[in-house]
């Protein structure tokens, strides 16, 4: 598809969604997918497994698909499922397990609302998870890099959308900061420059399929949980502090890793255009990290000091879930294995 942009040349704009339905991967997705292809009605999911809700492939995809109804929707699924009470009840139970798992590792810590930016910076400085960008730059092969892009497609093709849910829930200085960041994530008014669109370009340049949701069946639960985390924070007003903390931590950990991803893509001999998405982030997030730690996060806790714990919780939850993913991916690659689920076809 081509669009006329507000300035500059016409650019290719990828189609986004609805996502094709992936195959079931266990009893939860089996029950959900069976229900979703019918008219909205009473959904009953089996009891979730005793497994880790952040890592279980079946449970994470079930929650991901429930959330997808609030983004681009699912191919062939009636849009009324989004607000179907039985689906929301099932989603609430999965969310309860998800949050309980986070809280089991992240006990509340006291935070000074006047120093929330510094508190997030300390959380990030203490993070000891393996660095995927360093691994790809120093050791990764082309297949590893393509796998990394497939993992990231679960979020990057809807980049910025989960955080945008915060906008109507904020006011004043933090709202203005959030809108400025998001406006740039959405390409400064140019559809082709939207970061999600740039990521679709990168997928194409890597020889992958840029279609929204195309790789869902290959993406493990531990990756989907990273997206579920932002959707959880985004879709519940009561988690607005955590959503802001998550975005702040995201922006504050973007410049270095994206510079390494760009360098890794070049080292591996991918077309120059494959690096553009990462290069753009090195530039944009130089400014976004300051906006996110200052007017956004500190601005929020100045207006609502009671949210300081939640803001830092959002940053800690990001580190926890990203750490599970980076252990999984680098662990598989360093043993010469794939980090993806086997293809169903």
Q: How far is the CB of 286 from Fe ion (least distance, A)?
A: 9
In this chain, which residue has its C-beta nearest to Fe ion? 195
Of 91, 158, 288, 328, the one binding Fe ion by CB under 5 A? 288
User: 185 or 310: whose CB is closer to Fe ion?
Assistant: 185
Select from 310, 317, 149, 327 the least CA-distant residue to 226. Answer: 317
CB of 164 to Fe ion, least distance (A): 12
Under the binding rule (CB under 5 A), the answer on residue 201 touching Fe ion is no
Stretch that binds Fe ion, among 20-28, 207-215, 279-287, 314-322 (CB under 5 A): 279-287
> Quick one: which segment of 68-76, 142-150, 232-240, 281-289 binds Fe ion (CB under 5 A)?
281-289
Site string for Fe ion, 13-52 (x = CB under 5 A): ----------------------------------------
Which of the stretches 45-53, 67-75, 88-96, 287-295 binds Fe ion when contact is defined by CB under 5 A?
287-295
Looking at the Cβ atoms of 68 and 185, the one nearer to Fe ion is: 185
285 counts as binding Fe ion under rule CB under 5 A: yes
Choice from 195, 218, 316, 341 touching Fe ion (CB under 5 A): 195
Write phi, then psi, for 144 (nearest 5 degrees): -65, -45
Within residues 131-190, the interface with Fe ion by CB under 5 A covers: 185
Q: Tell me how far, at minimum, the Cβ of 236 lies from Fe ion, in Å.
A: 23
**What is the smallest separation between the CB atom of 91 and Fe ion, expressed in angstroms?**
27
**Which C-beta is closer to Fe ion: that of 152 or that of 288?**
288
Q: How far is the CB of 115 from Fe ion (least distance, A)?
A: 23
C-alpha of 80 from chain center: 24
Minimum separation from the CB atom of position 289 to Fe ion (A):
8
Residue (249 or 317) nearer to Fe ion, CB: 249
Per-residue three-class SS string for the chain: CEECCCCCCCEECCCCCCECCCCCCCHHHHHHHHHHCCCCCCCCCCCCCCCCCCCCHHHHHHHHHHHHCCCCCECCCCHHHHHCHHHHHHHHHHHHHHHHHHHHHCCCCCCCHHHHHHHHHHHHHCCCCCCHHHHHHHCCCHHHHHHHHHHHHHHHCCCCHHHHCCHHHCCHHHHHHHHHHHHHHCHHHCHHHCHHHHHHHHHHHCCCCCCCCCCHHHCCHHHHHHHHHHHHHHHCHHHHHHHHHHHHHHHHCCHHHHHHHHHHHHHCCCCHHHHHHHHHHHHHHHHHHHHHHHHHHHHHHHHCHHHHHHHHHHHHHHHHHHHHHHHHHHHHHHCCCCCCCCCCC
Q: Look at strands 11-12 and 2-3 and give their pairing.
A: antiparallel
The β-bridge partners of 12 are 2
Q: How many residues bind Fe ion (CB under 5 A)?
A: 4
Of 151 and 195, nearer to Fe ion (C-beta) is 195
Q: How far is the CB of 318 from Fe ion (least distance, A)?
A: 14
Least Cβ distance, residue 195 to Fe ion (angstroms): 4
Closest to Fe ion by CB, 251 or 310: 251
Which residues of this protein are in contact with Fe ion, per CB under 5 A?
185, 195, 285, 288
């Amino acid at each position: 598809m081509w669009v006329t942009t507000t300035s500059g040349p016409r650019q290719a704009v990828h189609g986004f969604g609805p996502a094709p339905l992936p195959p079931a991967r266990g009893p939860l997705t089996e029950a959900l997918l069976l229900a979703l292809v019918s008219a909205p009605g009473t959904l009953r999911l089996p009891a979730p497994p005793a497994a880790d809700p952040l890592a279980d492939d079946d449970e994470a995809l079930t929650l991901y698909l429930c959330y997808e109804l609030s983004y681009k929707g699912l191919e062939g699924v009636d849009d009324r499922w989004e607000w179907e009470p039985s689906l929301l009840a099932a989603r609430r139970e999965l969310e309860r397990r998800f949050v309980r798992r986070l809280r089991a590792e992240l006990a509340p810590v006291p935070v000074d609302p006047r120093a929330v930016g510094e508190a997030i910076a300390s959380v990030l400085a203490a993070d000891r998870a393996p660095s995927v960008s360093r691994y790809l730059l120093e050791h990764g092969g082309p297949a590893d890099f393509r796998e990394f892009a497939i993992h990231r497609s679960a979020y990057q093709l809807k980049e910025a959308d989960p955080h945008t849910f915060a906008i109507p829930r904020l006011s004043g200085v933090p709202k203005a900061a959030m809108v400025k960041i998001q406006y740039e994530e959405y390409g400064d008014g140019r559809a082709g420059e939207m970061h999600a669109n740039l990521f679709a370009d990168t997928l194409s340049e890597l020889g992958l399929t840029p279609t929204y949701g195309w790789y869902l069946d290959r993406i493990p639960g531990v990756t989907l949980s990273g997206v579920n985390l932002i959707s959880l924070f985004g879709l519940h007003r009561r988690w607005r502090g955590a959503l802001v903390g998550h975005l702040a931590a995201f922006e504050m950990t973007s410049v270095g890793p994206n510079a390494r991803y760009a360098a890794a893509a070049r080292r591996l001999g991918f077309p120059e255009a494959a690096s553009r998405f990462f290069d753009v982030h090195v530039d944009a997030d130089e400014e976004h990290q300051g906006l996110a730690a200052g007017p956004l996060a500190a601005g929020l806790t100045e207006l609502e000091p009671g949210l300081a714990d939640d803001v830092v919780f959002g940053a800690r939850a990001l580190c926890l879930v990203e750490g599970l993913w980076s252990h999984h991916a680098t662990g598989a690659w360093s043993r010469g294995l794939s980090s993806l689920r086997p293809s169903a076809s």
